[in-house]
Amino acid sequence: MKKPLKSLLIASTVAALISAPAVSTANSDVESLTKNPANWATPLGNYAGTRYSKLDQINSKNVKNLQPAWSFSTGVLRGHEGGPLVIGDVIYIHTPFPNTVYALDQATQSVIWEYTPTMDADVTIPVMCCDTVNRGLSYGDGKIFLQQSDTVLTALDAKTGKRVWSVQNGDPKLGMTNTQAPLVVKDMVITGIAGGEFGVRGFLAAYDIRTGQLRWKGYSMGPDGDTLINPSKTTTWENGKVTKVGADSSRKTWEGDQWKIGGGTTWGWYSYDSDLDLIYYGSGNPSTWNPTQRPGDNKWSMSLWARDASTGEVKWVYQMTPHDEWDFDGINETVLVDQKINGKMRKMLVHFDRNGFGYTLDRVTGELLVAEKFDKTVNWATHVDMKSGRPQVDPAMSTEQNGEDVNTVGVCPAALGAKNQQPVSFSPKTGLFYISGNHLCMEYEPFEVSYTAGQPYVGATLSMMPAGGDVLTGKKDGSTNLGQFTAWDATTGKIKWSNKEQFSVWSGSVATAGDVVFYGTLEGYLKAVDANTGKELYKFKTPSGIIGNVNTWEYKGKQYVGVLSGIGGWAGIGIAAGLDDGSDSTNSEGLGAVGAYRSLSSFTKLGGTFTVFSLPK
């Protein structure tokens, strides 16, 4: 007879407590690993989230000679987001549900171990929005950390694959799930929660790396005690200066107790500055998608956060899209770089939001430095007022302009955003960010919806279509491309160059010292472009559409590039889940995206493959 999951989790935690060493040096170990470009030791390559490699064996001159070296089938269909971890001689890859983890020997390309958690598909899959994806693994303290779809956070022995401990991070019966990659920080594992389309209240949580014990937990909205906001210390950008948020900064922007089911989930990426001891991330859309049911700014959904890593206390927070009316989820990655702006060197945080604006903030203080459109067809707001920090909404694009049950037409970008979760890369050689982007507009019609725990809490119907305009100028030109790959200067808010793609670029990129940037396409191509000009230098068709993130590493003196292919994710959900109705957003998987990508099935089919590339001998 099997023991209940809860009993197993408690037993494993107690056992870990008894055997735990006194000190963990996980953070210093991970930092050391990331400094060696032979590894890819964190989900985004390093704590700053730059996805940059110092390797230059593969460069803009010879990348045209790239060849597939070997491949591995994951045995799982649906969308393969995230990418491989590479620690020394071992590559660790993962799959979407059921979240199988493989440890692969680089020398033989054979399986060292594999681990598949036990999960209840009937409970978990129905509450997973936009495909059953998982965005990756984390490493530290000799362990591989897997954030399972059913919210269980699991620590595996990196050498054997045996489970060391597990802890329940949420409750799928209430609509909670997990899709994001955790991050090891100091002696903790940082993770969040998904489920904004089910009325889940978002949070960031830190668990002890040795035991799985909860160290701290900070919610996105609610009383100051829940959010870990200190009214006398926590600041925001307001009236042209860094200002203390004051008491009850979240609850007073919600009507009644709506904040208790207010969304603001945290299923994106996390960055860390060890000098400042701050964790950075974004929070998602408010619940419900019907804005008339939640008057007010709905803080602190749609916000960028800086939290003290040791305590979880909020240093600063900045809301990008107050009172979101379009599902412009704010969870996209926060990249930490040091660059000169207006003659002054700044410790910057750079974020490309779903709402179509690229933000540059001082990551020490939260001061707003730059906020500009990285797709000029964006029309829901004319600009961001730099003094107030608030977007200036075009009244014609407001989805509550005439109350409920009125369809707003021509809103750009669509709910998928001008960029979704696919992480950018940054090259210190060019000083540019490389954005995997979408290029869509939408029709959006809210309707009244009631909250029932564990049931979809969306409240809007939408459909999506090509933006039909130029990314660089915003002028309508009849184009039908659904995506673009763009180079961006975060110190000026200017586009350097942009390449059109037939479909959204749902793959995270990697920039290298060889002046090459790699990314994947929904049709399944691995592409390499010149980091300075955007000129396409190489492409190869993999077995299925790519929504995974391209990573690079070195083994025995040879540079490799690897990517997971397997069509799916929100853009590829039509193929992945067998959906064919592109208009009904009340379907918790499709959410309006199917119709725009209907022709994608002519270019690629389901599959799950890890493909590794290198230069010929």
Q: The CATH number of the domain where 477 resides is what?
A: 2.140.10.10
Residues with catalytic annotation?
Answer: 327
pLDDT at 547 over 90: yes
pLDDT at 593: 78
- DSSP assignment of 82-117, as one string? S--EEETTEEEEE-STTT-EEEEETTT--EEEEE--
- Domains: count for the chain: 1
If phi over 0 gives left and psi between -120 and 50 gives alpha, with beta otherwise, what is residue 43?
alpha
Q: How far apart are CA 24 and CA 208, in angstroms?
A: 10
Compute the average pLDDT of residues 2-23: 38
DSSP 8-state code for residue 201: P
In tens, the pLDDT along 187-196 reads 999 999 999 9
Q: pLDDT at residue 74 above 90?
A: yes
Residues 104-130 have pLDDT tens digits of 999 999 999 999 999 999 999 999 999
Residue 398 belongs to domain spanning: 5-614
Average pLDDT over residues 531-539: 98
Q: Is the peptide bond before 570 cis (omega within 30 degrees of 0)?
A: no
The rounded distance, in Å, linking the Cα atoms of 260 and 174 is 13
In Å, how far from its chain's centre is CA 566? 17
The answer to whether 309 and 325 are in contact (CB under 8 A) is no
Is it the case that residue 489 has pLDDT exceeding 90? yes
Task: State pLDDT tens for residues 207-247.
Answer: 999 999 999 999 999 999 999 999 999 999 999 999 999 99
Amino acid present at 338: D
Answer whether residue 100 shows pLDDT above 70.
Answer: yes
Q: Encoding tokens for residue 332?
A: 């996209």
Q: What band does 12 get if pLDDT is binned at 50, 70 and 90?
A: very low
How high is the pLDDT of residue 6? 40
pLDDT-based confidence at residue 9 (cuts at 50, 70, 90): very low
Nearest one of 384, 464, 374 to 416, comparing CA atoms? 464
The tokens 């590493």 sit on which residue?
553
Mean local confidence (pLDDT), 243-253: 98
Residues 6+ apart with CB under 8 A from 594: 573, 574, 579, 580, 581, 582
- In single-letter form, the type of residue at position 594 comes to V
How many residues make up the chain in this entry?
617
Bridge pairing between strands 368-373 and 381-384: unpaired
Q: Which residue has the tokens 């010292």?
A: 513
Q: How far apart are CA 307 and CA 317, in angstroms?
A: 9
What is the pLDDT, as a whole number, of residue 592? Answer: 73
Amino acid at 327: D
Q: Which amino acid is at 144?
A: I
Contact (CB, 8 A) for 43 and 269: yes
Kindly give the pairing relationship between strand 52-53 and strand 510-512: parallel
Q: Which two tokens stand for residue 227?
A: 């959010």
pLDDT at residue number 613? 98
More confident residue, 446 or 5: 446
DSSP 12-76: HHHHHHHH--S---HHHHHHHHHHSTT-B-STTSSTT---EE---SS-TTTGGG-EEEEEEE-S-
pLDDT of 27 above 90: no
Residue 221's Cβ-side half-sphere holds a number of Cα atoms within 13 Å equal to 35
Q: Where are the beta strands (DSSP E) in 374-439?
A: 381-384, 391-393, 408-411, 425-427, 432-438
pLDDT at site 532 = 98
Mean pLDDT of 18-45: 78
Q: How many CB atoms lie within 10 A of CB 36?
A: 12
Cα distance between residue 288 and residue 258, in whole Å: 10
Mean pLDDT across the stretch 86-113? 98
Task: Calculate mean pLDDT across residues 254-265.
Answer: 98
Quote the tokens at residue 88.
């020394």
- Cα 124 to Cα 109: distance, rounded to the nearest angstrom: 32
**What's the average model confidence in pLDDT over 169-174?**
98
Model confidence band, residue 582 (pLDDT cutoffs 50, 70, 90)? very low
Q: What is the mean pLDDT of residues 409-421?
A: 97
**What's the rounded mean pLDDT across residues 62-66?**
98
pLDDT at 581: 55
Q: What pLDDT digit, counting tens, does each position of 295-336 carry?
A: 999 999 999 999 999 999 999 999 999 999 999 999 999 999
Give the model's pLDDT for residue 15.
37
Does residue 512 surpass a pLDDT of 80? yes
H-assigned helices in 179-326? 224-227
Q: Measured in Å, how far apart are the chain's first and last C-alpha atoms?
A: 55
Token pair in block for residue 244:
């203390």
Q: Looking at 320-329, 372-381, 402-411, 606-615, which range is the least confident one?
A: 402-411
Beta strands in 447-583 (DSSP E): 460-466, 483-489, 494-501, 510-512, 516-520, 525-530, 536-541, 551-555, 558-565
Q: Which of 296, 299, 177, 179 is nearest to 246 (CA)?
A: 299
Give me the chain's average pLDDT, please.
93
CA distance 331 to 351: 10
